[in-house]
């Protein structure tokens, strides 16, 4: 694909991304599907350009999924570490304590 058409494809992706609603932006799956559908419905692009744009979107989406998965794994690891630290601290006794008991009076 020549350079002018690449710019055309990138511009079409940017237009489709700009059209996404704020409620769609919160969900990466919905955003990907919306932008993909918008690109496929764009009549100014040829079939090859639509396929190239879809490939670009899919690669970007796959990278996003990998990043999210790594982030979730890091959170789970930190939770395991923190839970282990908390359990250790709960099991340790730092010494003896004197307890003073008082009787309660009825008022």
Per-residue pLDDT reduced to its tens digit, 26-43 = 888 888 899 999 999 999
Cβ–Cβ contacts within 10 Å for residue 15, how many? 14
Cβ–Cβ contacts within 10 Å for residue 12, how many? 20
**What are the percentages of helix, strand and coil residues in the chain, rounded to 5?**
75, 0, 25
Domain carrying residue 84: 3-91
Judge whether 101 lies within some domain: no
What is the band of 107 on the pLDDT scale with cuts at 50, 70, 90? low
Angle at 33 between CA 29 and CA 35, to 5 degrees: 115
Answering whether pTM is above 0.75, one says no
Total domain count, the chain: 1
Structure token pair of residue 84: 């282990």
């Amino acid at each position: 694909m020549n350079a002018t058409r690449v710019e055309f494809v990138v511009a079409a992706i940017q237009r489709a991304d700009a059209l996404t609603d704020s409620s769609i932006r919160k969900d990466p799956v919905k955003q990907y599907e919306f932008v993909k559908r918008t690109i496929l419905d764009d009549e100014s692009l040829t079939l090859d350009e639509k396929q190239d744009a879809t490939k670009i979107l899919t690669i970007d989406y796959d990278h996003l999924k990998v990043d999210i998965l790594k982030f979730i794994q890091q959170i789970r690891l930190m939770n395991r570490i923190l839970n282990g630290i908390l359990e250790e601290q709960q099991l340790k006794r730092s010494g003896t304590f004197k307890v003073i008991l008082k009787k309660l009076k009825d008022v």
